[in-house]
Amino acid sequence: MKIIQSPQEMQEISAGLRISKNTIGFVPTMGALHQGHLSLIQKCRKENDTAVVSIFVNPIQFGPSEDYQKYPRSLPQDKKLLESVSADFLFVPEANEMFPFGYQTKITVESLSAPLCGKFRPGHFQGVATIVMKLFHIVIPTRAYFGEKDYQQFRIIKQMAADLNLPVEILPCPTAREPDGLAVSSRNQYLSALERKHAPLVYQSLLEGGKLVEKKEKKPEVIRTAVIKKLQESSLISIEYVEIVHPETLVPVREIDETVLLALAVRIGKTRLIDNLMIQPAS
């Protein structure tokens, strides 16, 4: 695995690969790699001639009260994990190279950024779209891989690529989970031992909603009430949102008569966790 720090060098390498007709698979990350990331990279490795992974903790997607400085960083361990899954290139730029003094340009995907997490993290998805656009221009990928745990992010990036005619295929990958159902996340390490014991309720609440849909419940409010009731079994969990939305537009649905996305965000102690479940009504 070759480690690249310079955006210009990475761009030159990628351009050469594309000229040689090599397909480039790309997995953008913020490091603190876990099994969820590794599953993306393994799929990327399998489907492309070259696998590129980036590690960059993006400052412009964190709000002023969020955890940019405390966000977990574990580059030596990350390098070992990437070598274990045969990544070809690791791109690790510095912040002052990605956002030099005087940087002004930002990318906004308007309607998809407004609901769900967008209500609670203003500017977050603008920061995400901007850094991903920059990384796409540098890495020049054929395909890029995103986890479905961050479903809103995936939809925003897919929309951005379509709107701007980017020559990259945006591919979703299933959420990786712990044996007790908790979605794998870098932020899980913030949880105390007690908080971690309560965390499986997040996924269990989604499954509770899914069961009702399987029983032909069509009213979103009934589903939301059941999910909230399950989450409230823990006094450690505070609910940010529980929503049932159309999977393409992320607009709340009035009736469940087709596939919908059940999405939520909660805080367990100081740790913010998100998760979702795609659910389909019984035929």
Rounded Cα gap, residues 213 and 133, in angstroms: 37
Structure tokens at 145: 């891989």
Q: Which of 186, 195, 213 is nearest to 277 (CA)?
A: 213
Produce one character per residue of 33-62: b if its CB has 16 or more CB atoms within 10 Å, e if not: bbebbbbbbbbbbeebebbbbbbbbbebbb
DSSP character at residue 175: P
Produce one character per residue of 200-218: b if its CB has 16 or more CB atoms within 10 Å, e if not: bbbbbbbebbbebbeeebe
Among 37, 124, 137, 246, which one carries the catalytic annotation? 37
Measured in whole angstroms, the distance separating CA 141 from the mean position of its chain's CA atoms is: 18
E strand segments, 34-117: 50-55, 89-91
| CA distances from residue 188 to 10, 85, 134, 202, 238 in whole angstroms, order as listed | 31, 22, 28, 12, 16
Around Cβ 68, how many Cβ atoms within 10 Å? Answer: 13
Q: Which of 232, 240, 241, 242 is nearest to 198 (CA)?
A: 232
Identify whether 124 is a catalytic site residue. no
Please identify every residue annotated as catalytic.
37
